[in-house]
Amino acid sequence: MTQSQGDIVVITGASAGIGRATALEFAKRGARITLLARDGERLQRTAQKVKELGGDALPLVTDVADAQAVEKAAAKTEDQFGPIDIWVNVAMVTVFSPVAEMTAEEYRRVTEVSYLGFVHGTLAALKRMRPRNKGVIVQTGSALSYRGIPLQSAYCGAKFAIRGFSDSLRAELLHEGSNIKITMVQLSAFNTPQFQWARSRLSAPPQPLPPIFQPELAARALVHAAYHHRREWCVGFPAVKTIWGTKLLPRVGDRLAARKAFSGQEDFGASPDVRAESDNLFDAAPGDYRSHGRFDERARDRSWQWRFTTHLLPITLTVLAVVIAAIVAGIAA
């Protein structure tokens, strides 16, 4: 898809975390953005920031687990802004808990939001993109869509499901000869509010498995993926390492997860009061949460892997030029 000013974009989970950061990144490009999330106050604050950055915003209180609500949001978007160009699925919930302590209701809710929410968004986008035979759907994935880790079985299951669903849809679109593009962006660990408001049964406040990156890096990657088509992007070397390690040495990955992913997800140095008043599993958590979580001092805002990935051709050409110049110089000598 060619980048243009004023693209019409829908973003789920847009009131905080990576969803909010992505909305602000699109706003810098003058996009008209529909913001979907459950918390009306945070949506309004995000909408105001979008307008300050040069975009336009339509905030709609929406639970992506409700397919009809997502469909109505898509219809309102096209009524107000026009045809949807880009749909970005970000919304998620999770539970930090051993499988033995999870409930059926918790699994159902995580699945409804973190998997079916993506399906609902994709279906609403396809309904409008198919007649025009154009558009881009961006799925926010994770290294955990390849490697399940302990204490996040519901979330990992949802991410695996999104990947399977997206692969199936991609093949169908190719079979149809469709110009609609679908891409999945596999992320590493990011500094978002989910580690403050997610339901947790851990003995200490949860944390992302280090190293940790800032949400603006994920936002730049999601925007890049919308305009530079590839079936899948990885953001941060930990995602690359996890995905390829799982493909090549899955049993080693099992053992590493068993040994490191328990204590690695607990922040034993944090005070218990860093947790939100209530979790966000079934209802939006109260509070003025924005893009960042509580790990600013430990989070990185850049990734050499992402820079290399997005500049691969220039880097490759430069290396080739240096090699050729060396060979020519050697021959001349």
DSSP classification of residue 198: S
pLDDT at position 93 is: 98
Which residue type, as a one-letter code, is found at position 327?
I
Peptide bond into 215 cis (omega under 30): no
Indicate left, alpha or beta for 285 from its phi (over 0: left) and psi (-120 to 50: alpha).
Answer: beta
pLDDT at position 71 is: 98
Residue 239: closest CA among 179, 302, 305: 305
pLDDT at position 221 is: 98
111 in a domain, yes or no?
yes
Sequence-ordered list of residues with C-beta below 8 angstroms from that of 146, at least 6 positions apart, any chain: 160, 163, 186, 242, 243, 246, 247
List residues bridging with 141 in a β-sheet: 186
Which residue type, as a one-letter code, is found at position 59?
P
Sequence-ordered list of residues with C-beta below 8 angstroms from that of 204, at least 6 positions apart, any chain: 266, 267, 268, 270
- What whole-number distance in Å separates Cα of residue 241 and Cα of residue 205? 26
Helix ranges restricted to H, the chain: 17-27, 40-52, 67-80, 104-114, 116-129, 153-176, 194-197, 215-227, 237-248, 250-260, 304-310, 312-332
188 in a domain, yes or no?
yes
pLDDT at position 272 is: 87
Tell me the pTM.
0.92
pLDDT at position 234 is: 97
14 in a domain, yes or no?
yes
Range of the domain at 19: 8-302
Residue 225: closest CA among 267, 276, 274, 166: 166
Task: Answer yes or no: are the C-beta atoms of 42 and 15 closer than 8 Å.
Answer: yes
pLDDT at position 259 is: 96
247 in a domain, yes or no?
yes
Burial of 251 (0-12, 13-18, 19+ CB in 10 A): exposed
74 in a domain, yes or no?
yes
Residue 256: closest CA among 152, 264, 206: 264
Task: Residue 233: give its domain's CATH number.
Answer: 3.40.50.720
Report how many domains make up the chain. 1
DSSP classification of residue 129: H
310 in a domain, yes or no?
no
Chunked into runs of 10 residues, the chain (333 residues) has average pLDDT values of 77 98 98 98 98 98 98 98 98 98 98 98 98 98 98 98 98 98 98 97 96 98 97 97 96 96 95 90 95 97 94 65 64 63
289 in a domain, yes or no?
yes
Which residues are catalytic, by number?
155
333 in a domain, yes or no?
no
Alpha-carbon separation of residue 102 from 122, 135, 148, 272 (angstroms): 28, 38, 16, 21
